[in-house]
């Protein structure tokens, strides 16, 4: 498995991982009709634009030229962070076929290293409060729930 910076040609692989993983993770949490409407084709263009945004960075985990996971991170979008330089993991998805193989943890380690190198003093992320699987994973990576909730939002 290789972790590297995403390029525009990775947009399709990222879109495929995003849709497959989001459907697997959010089934039973988000409305089925909304999940069934998720389109790889629509996400390809979205990810091409995201990869081109220099404010943020996307890393991919690739095995045999297939994108199996990705992480997208950069400066926080939260307006209430004070004067600290705060980074944020905006999105992390691993294809369900590659779950529990360490790729998610490896992507987090790489992202945290790059954020630290960019002088971010703190790194935050948002996940569904009801997703015990995601919360357990992020806690294993050193994150902790601070009690803050964003009502009515579903992460990336």
Indicate whether 99 pLDDT > 90.
yes
Residue 154 has what pLDDT? 56
CA distance 145 to 51: 28
Confidence of residue 156 (pLDDT cuts 50, 70, 90): low
Indicate whether 22 pLDDT > 70.
yes
Q: Which helix (H) or strand (E) holds 110?
A: helix 103-117
CA distance 19 to 2: 21
Give the tokens for residue 33. Answer: 């009709």
Residue 152 has what pLDDT? 62
Inter-residue contact 90 to 96 (CB < 8 Å): no
* Helices and strands of the chain, counted as H and E runs: 5, 5
- Prediction pTM value: 0.90
CA distance 100 to 130: 20
Give the three-state DSSP class for 153. coil
């Amino acid at each position: 498995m290789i972790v590297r910076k995403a390029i525009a040609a990775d947009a399709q692989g990222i879109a495929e991982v995003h849709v497959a993983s989001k459907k697997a993770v959010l089934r039973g949490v988000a409305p089925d009709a909304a999940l069934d409407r998720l389109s790889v084709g629509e996400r390809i263009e979205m990810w091409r634009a995201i990869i081109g945004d220099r404010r943020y960075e996307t890393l991919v985990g690739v095995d045999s030229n297939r994108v199996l996971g990705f992480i997208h991170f950069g400066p926080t979008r939260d307006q209430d962070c004070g004067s600290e330089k705060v980074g944020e993991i905006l999105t992390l998805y691993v294809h369900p076929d590659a779950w529990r193989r360490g790729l998610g943890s490896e992507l987090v380690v790489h992202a945290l290293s790059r954020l630290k190198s960019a002088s971010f003093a703190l790194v935050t992320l948002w996940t569904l409060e009801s997703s015990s699987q995601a919360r357990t994973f992020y806690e294993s990576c050193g994150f902790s729930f601070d009690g803050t909730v964003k009502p009515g939002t579903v992460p990336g």
